[in-house]
């Protein structure tokens, strides 16, 4: 969902800017629902899909990145306890966190962003395979992996190699890094591209495509990312005139371990770059 205001009068411009800022603040304050299944895999979404889901944190426990550009003397938000508890107890996360740390440093990406993206994509299940054929922790399509030089051989196919956590995280982080470079200063578009493909974002006029799944995906990933950021990092970001633009609404569908909704129209129109 995108809002665009145009006016020749200063008063209308100010009103439009205020309305847009209010919309951004409301959108950034996303509730995140989730549950941990019997295998220890996390499932998150922006809606309570069924009785298994509980509220992991309310939007007001996260923060609006649009406000980072403004002076703020209040305390920085802390990560919701339930969210931190998952990472404290998850064996699958503990097995791969050193790979995340290495990839984050190598590609200059926040560790917390990788955490948020992977837990949304696969719940940290290295063997996860989506209905569209995306594989592993970062739910990478074999075609995308081949773009980054991964090839099958007599010992293992591309799909099998993508179940290796180090390989999967390395390729997924490189892809995410390239998307962030493609859309500088617009993390929401980079995350949307990871879900729907950069072509879909470009065809939408460099906006989040009007796919219910992608809109909810961006909302979930950024809410988790904001919740995981350490307080001192939030304070530092508040000093910098940088913002993440949120233009979102809706629930999630058919991607990795996100909640499932109807997909017929979505499947007919979206590209398969990262499915």
Residue 41 lies in a domain: no
The residues that are catalytic are 121
Burial class, 139, CB count within 10 angstroms (exposed 0-12 / middle 13-18 / buried 19+): buried
Lowest-confidence range among 169-173, 174-178, 204-208, 260-264?
260-264
Asked if residue 200 has pLDDT above 80, the reply is yes
Over residues 6-16, the mean pLDDT reads 44
- In percent, the amount of the chain with pLDDT more than 90 equals 45
Residue 59 lies in a domain: no
What residues make up the domain containing 120? 77-269
Token pair in block for residue 113 = 């962003």
For residue 234, give the CATH number of its domain.
Answer: 1.10.530.10
Q: Give the best-scoring range by mean pLDDT among 72-76, 87-91, 182-186, 259-263.
A: 182-186
pLDDT of residue 258: 44
Residue 265 lies in a domain: yes
pTM as predicted: 0.69
**pLDDT tens digits along 113-155:** 999 999 999 999 999 999 999 999 999 999 999 999 999 999 9
Taking the C-alpha atoms of residue 273 and residue 255, their distance in angstroms, rounded to an integer, is 13
Average pLDDT over the chain reads: 74
Count the Cβ atoms, other than its own, within 10 Å of residue 1.
13
Taking the C-alpha atoms of residue 8 and residue 20, their distance in angstroms, rounded to an integer, is 17
- Nearest alpha-carbon partner for 274 in 161, 196, 207: 196
Q: Which DSSP helix (H) or strand (E) runs through 44?
A: strand 42-45
Residue 63 lies in a domain: no
Taking the C-alpha atoms of residue 93 and residue 85, their distance in angstroms, rounded to an integer, is 12
Residue 20 lies in a domain: no
Residue 207 lies in a domain: yes
pLDDT of residue 107: 96
Q: Where does 108-238 have alpha helices with state H?
A: 111-121, 142-147, 158-161, 165-182, 187-196, 198-203, 212-228, 231-238
Taking the C-alpha atoms of residue 141 and residue 138, their distance in angstroms, rounded to an integer, is 9
Taking the C-alpha atoms of residue 209 and residue 270, their distance in angstroms, rounded to an integer, is 9
- State how many domains the chain has: 1
**pLDDT tens digits along 37-67:** 877 787 877 778 788 888 877 765 433 333 3
């Amino acid at each position: 969902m995108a809002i665009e205001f145009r006016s020749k009068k200063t008063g209308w411009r100010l009103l439009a800017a205020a309305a847009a800022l209010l919309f951004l603040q409301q959108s950034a304050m996303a509730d995140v629902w989730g549950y941990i299944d019997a295998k220890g895999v996390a499932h998150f979404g922006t809606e309570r899909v069924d009785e298994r889901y509980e509220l992991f944190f309310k939007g007001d426990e996260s923060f609006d990145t649009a406000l980072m550009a403004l002076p703020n003397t209040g305390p920085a938000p802390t990560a919701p306890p339930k969210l931190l508890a998952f990472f404290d107890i998850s064996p699958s996360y503990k097995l791969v966190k050193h790979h995340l740390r290495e990839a984050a440093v190598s590609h200059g990406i926040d560790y917390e962003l990788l955490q948020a993206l992977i837990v949304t994509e696969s719940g940290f299940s290295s063997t996860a395979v989506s209905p569209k054929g995306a594989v592993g922790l970062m739910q990478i399509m074999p075609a995308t992996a081949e773009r980054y030089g991964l090839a099958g051989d007599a010992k293992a196919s591309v799909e099998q190699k993508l179940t290796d956590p180090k390989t999967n995280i390395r390729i997924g982080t490189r892809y995410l890094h390239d998307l962030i470079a493609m859309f500088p200063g617009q993390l929401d578009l980079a995350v949307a591209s990871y879900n729907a493909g950069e072509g879909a974002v470009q065809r939408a006029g460099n906006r989040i495509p009007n796919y219910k799944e992608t809109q909810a995906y961006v909302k979930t990933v950024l809410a988790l990312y904001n919740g995981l950021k350490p307080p001192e990092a939030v304070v530092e970001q508040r000093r910098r005139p940088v913002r993440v633009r949120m233009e979102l609404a809706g629930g999630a569908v058919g991607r990795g371990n996100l909640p499932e909704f109807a997909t017929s129209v979505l499947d007919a129109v979206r590209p398969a770059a990262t499915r």
